Amino acid sequence: MTAYRGSAKVDRILVVDDTPDNLFLTQAILEEEGYHIETFENGTDALAEIEADPPDLILLDVMMPGIDGFEVTRRIRQNEKLPFIPILLITAHDQPSVAQGLDTGADDFIRKPVNFDELLARVRSLLKLKHSVDERDLIARQREDFVSRLTHDLRTPMVAADRMLALISQGAFGELPEGMNEAISIMIRSNKNLLEMVNMLLEVYRYEAGRKTLSMIPVALCDLLAEVLEGLSPIAIDSGLALESNLDEFMDKQIVVMGDRLELHRVFTNLIGNAVKFTESGSVKVHLSAKPDRAVIAIKDTGTGIPPEQLDMLFQPFWSGKHKRSGSGLGLPLAQQIVTAHLGSIQIESEVGKGSTFTIELPIEQPAT
Ligand code: ADP
């Protein structure tokens, strides 16, 4: 139930105590301050109401027959469907273990006999905490909705523009005047880059919001890496780079991980693609190996390297360094989200001027015994 005074929402406080006199007194004092109070004489009824209609604050007697205040606190904190609700424990004068209540997830405690000025001060401070947590959550939700709606809405006109430009360049609307082909190709390329960036942004936020569903299947890493290397080899050849691997060793004894093949393809394309992109001369080597329970994929380049102070920023969205080939800065954050969702890890070792090694570890699918 939401109570209002004028247009302002009134804070709703649940008071749980098995002594009716205590309940009556606390209710009278808090109502005097303008709060909306609901009272309960046992933990079970209080929990049912908290789950049905979460209040803004709970005042909870510790010693109660049936489930005590500690247990009520534990059940509230374990219930992931509930928003954050501050809990103020009311403990007996000689109750030794308030620490237990705080460890279970209560936010503060007050001893009986309750000093009412102290009670009101604690109520005000916990409600302040509640309001700031609610506000932070609201801003996070609005930001997430905004980004996912914006990126989603941007995709539609860009896909349409891509189709139109393809038709124009194919001469569907008549022959193009001189110089126009070049201009259309530039527009197609820019539009594709923009679409790619919007798609990646959408994916990053899907992972962040926990809205990404993975289709997990057994994935043979050697085949997957061979496919990625084949796709990138024309770019490596153009740049005069040697693109090497030890994949031949694994053709007969595949290393298999459980994963979403498309997503893992995206990770390796990004990391090996970066290695090629940020290497002026020399080589990019992909080395696959297996620990007892993990597959290890090391991607080693002889490129520009990354200064130590920049290593922490690599996985932040939109951080892209000053290299002339730097792009949107979304590839590595997305790669990390994907690898983490596969319960794996990415490590980086790098030396400026000498090159970098990105090492990915993924849990190996153990054969059924
Ligand atoms: P993008 O490549 O689009 O800029 P990424 O998130 O993939 O975005 O990479 C972020 C930045 O990290 C790059 O712009 C580059 O500065 C740096 N980086 C990534 N991989 C390498 C690498 N192998 N060698 C040197 N710098 C790299």
- Calculate what percentage of the chain has a pLDDT beyond 90: 68
At residue 368, the pLDDT reads 57
Rg, the chain, Cα only: 30
Angstrom distance (rounded) from CA 353 to CA 265: 28
Q: Which two tokens stand for residue 291?
A: 């620990």
Are residue 57 and residue 36 in the same domain, yes or no? yes
Are residue 236 and residue 356 in the same domain, yes or no? yes
> What CATH number has the domain bearing residue 84?
3.40.50.2300
Q: Is the pLDDT of residue 289 over 80?
A: yes
Are residue 199 and residue 320 in the same domain, yes or no? no
Number of domains in the chain: 3
Q: Which of 179, 208, 237 is the last residue of a domain?
A: 208
Domain carrying residue 21: 3-114
Segment 93-103 mean pLDDT: 73
328 ligand 1 Cβ < 6 A: yes
Is 19 in a helix, a strand, or coil?
A: coil
Q: Which of 180, 208, 236 is the last residue of a domain?
A: 208
Give per-residue pLDDT as tens, 291-301: 999 999 999 99
User: How remote is the CA of residue 206 from the centroid of ligand 1, in Å?
Assistant: 22
**Nearest protein Cα to ligand 1, atom 7:** 331
301 ligand 1 Cβ < 6 A: yes
pLDDT band of 95, cuts 50, 70, 90? low
Are residue 169 and residue 146 in the same domain, yes or no? yes
Are residue 355 and residue 323 in the same domain, yes or no? yes
Whether 8 is covered by a domain: the verdict is yes
User: How remote is the CA of residue 199 from the centroid of ligand 1, in Å?
Assistant: 18
Q: Identify the sign of the CA torsion 342, 344, 349, 354.
A: negative
332 ligand 1 Cβ < 6 A: yes
Angstrom distance (rounded) from CA 77 to CA 102: 11
Amino acid at 281: S
304 ligand 1 Cβ < 6 A: yes
Whether 121 is covered by a domain: the verdict is no
Whether 232 is covered by a domain: the verdict is yes
Q: Which of 166, 187, 208 is the last residue of a domain?
A: 208
Q: Which atom of ligand 1 is nearest to the CA of 299?
A: 23
At residue 369, the pLDDT reads 54
Given a contact cutoff of 8 angstroms between Cβ atoms, the answer to whether 258 and 217 are in contact is yes
> What CATH number has the domain bearing residue 266?
3.30.565.10
Torsion of CA 104, 105, 110, 112, to 10 degrees: -40
At residue 88, the pLDDT reads 96
Strand 3-5 and strand 242-245: the pairing is unpaired
Whether 123 is covered by a domain: the verdict is no
At residue 1, the pLDDT reads 64
Segment 136-149 mean pLDDT: 82
User: How remote is the CA of residue 326 from the centroid of ligand 1, in Å?
Assistant: 6
Cis peptide upstream of residue 113 (ω within 30 degrees of 0): yes
Are residue 92 and residue 227 in the same domain, yes or no? no
Are residue 200 and residue 262 in the same domain, yes or no? no
